[in-house]
Amino acid sequence: MNDQTASPSRRAGGRAARQALRAAPLAEDLRPIRPGLEGGWYKPLTDAGVQRIHQGALDALEQIGLANAPASGVEILTGAGAILGDDGRIRFPRALVEDMLAIAARDITLFARDPKHDMHLSGSKVHFGTAGAAVHVVDLETNDYRDSTSKDLYDAAKIVDNLDNVHFFQRMMVCRDVTDLVDMDMNTLYACLSGTTKHVGTSFSDPISVAPGFEMLHMVAGGEAEWRARPFVSNSNCFVVPPMKFAEESCITMEACVRAGMPMLLLSAGQAGATAPASIALAITQAVAECLAGVVYVNAIQPGAPAIFGTWPFVSDLRTGSMSGGSAEQGLLTAGCAQMHRFYGLPGGAAGGMTDSKLPDMQCGWEQGIINVMAGLAGLNMVYESVGMQASLLGFSFESLILGDDILGQAQRAVRGIEVTEDKMDLDVMKAVCLGGPGHYLGSEQTMSLMQTDYVYPTVGNRMSPKEWNEAQKPMLLDGARARMGAILREARCVIDPAIDAAIREKFNIAFAA
């Protein structure tokens, strides 16, 4: 009787003990979620469907080919065995594609400046991160959009450096306060590097930015040899303009980056119903064909060069033709692409977690949550654009980035699944509670041991009862997000050595203050 009617002080003590235990730090291998959890449970394509998409992609490369290769690309590709037709299109014999797939890099590591953030891309290991090219930032003071700046990008990098569930940082905003293209590229790169020690993804607007970009990277790394040993930045490269055309300047940039030791994200970003077929299966087929052309291209430059198979098809709202990044169809496209990456055994990346909502509201939450879970369960190695992106990638929200970290925590817990092991199936636990025990599992040894290793708790998300919520003055979710953002930005500092920072600022026109 006494066991079942514990006093308020005993209940409070037990709750306090559980909260203290939850707050204690855990070793990385004991955390309930962490980078690189194995997904692959969700398969929207049948095995026969995967094979048909593969064969369709090979047919497209042989019969349609790609147009508009730069002169250097024509030389590289035809030298490897591709065929330049009288119509100017490069076609790819099946044997050539198969040969290049055989030597393509697999099980690669994307390095970070801090080795604890290195990402090992193999099998169905899942990592979530940022990306995008938003031209606006959501201002929740006015519920309006303003131009994004280099300082915004720097602040976003500092925040991501402090978010456990965002594993890499790729540029997600355009530095609209910088008008010169080379200066913009240098500010983009340095805003990322000075804000985080996680792996960084960046883009170059023009091939002329590549040389100064690598000069900066060598300064940060401590020299070219140090850079090549651990390249901590990848190039997000839209080497194709769907449908089935090369992007000449991006291809020239890609050639230079591969030779300089930079990992490539081979990015095909068609939009189903516009620049890709409306059929979801055929949209994936086109993206696979375009990225297979990229695999041939990269490996013809340097066999085994690290590259991410970036099938990245988007969705159109067929009523209007506008992009619909938060749709269920987007989740299907992304998950289907993950299956194709795994079919080839190549490291793969695609878009997930975008939202069509203009603000971090309920629509934003359901769209981010559903698509990130689908991408993670499908075993996508790199889930790009997973947090912070509003208005179908036109806007970025700091508050959405903060809240998205909680969403990604829940998504990763879904990816981890349920372990059925001896210690978790021990009926002695039930016997101790049910046969003469207290009749509940609160405070039991198993409960206490699993509360940190098997359960994930939101940082900003609110689990108070209505009574507790009222007593706490009814805290609102966005207020909590702003508070966490403010706390991070007050403490976060430039992660570049001060002497190197000064040297970079003397050499390059850096627009933001550290």
pLDDT score of 284: 98
E strand or H helix that includes residue 346: none
Question: Distance between CA atoms of 217 and 18, rounded to whole angstroms?
Answer: 46
101-417+497-507, which class in CATH?
alpha beta
Average pLDDT, consecutive stretches of 10 residues, N- to C-terminus, the chain (514 residues): 38 56 67 94 97 98 98 98 98 98 98 98 97 97 96 98 98 97 98 98 96 98 98 98 98 98 97 96 98 98 98 93 92 98 98 95 97 98 98 97 98 96 92 93 90 93 95 95 97 98 98 95
**Exposure b/e, 175-204, CB count within 10 A at least 16 = b:** bbebeeebbbbbbbbbbbbbbbbbbbbbbb
Question: Distance between CA atoms of 297 and 101, rounded to whole angstroms?
Answer: 11
Question: Distance between CA atoms of 16 and 59, rounded to whole angstroms?
Answer: 64
Non-local (6+) Cβ contacts of 274 within 8 A are 316, 321
pLDDT score of 23: 60
The count of C-alpha atoms lying within 13 angstroms of the C-alpha of 37, restricted to the half-sphere facing its C-beta, is 28
DSSP category for residue 244: S
Question: Distance between CA atoms of 194 and 191, rounded to whole angstroms?
Answer: 5
Closest by CA to 88, choosing from 54, 64, 120, is 64
Domain segments of the chain: what residues? 101-417+497-507
Please state, in angstroms and as integers, the Cα–Cα distance from residue 273 to each residue in 52, 326, 385, following that order: 21, 16, 21
DSSP category for residue 367: H
Structure tokens at 165: 């569930």
pLDDT score of 4: 39
Question: Distance between CA atoms of 491 and 474, rounded to whole angstroms?
Answer: 27
Query: Can you give the pTM of this predicted structure?
Result: 0.94
First CA to last CA across the chain, in angstroms?
A: 63
Give, in degrees to the nearest 5, the angle at Cα 457 between 454 and 462: 150
Question: Distance between CA atoms of 484 and 314, rounded to whole angstroms?
Answer: 32
pLDDT score of 18: 57
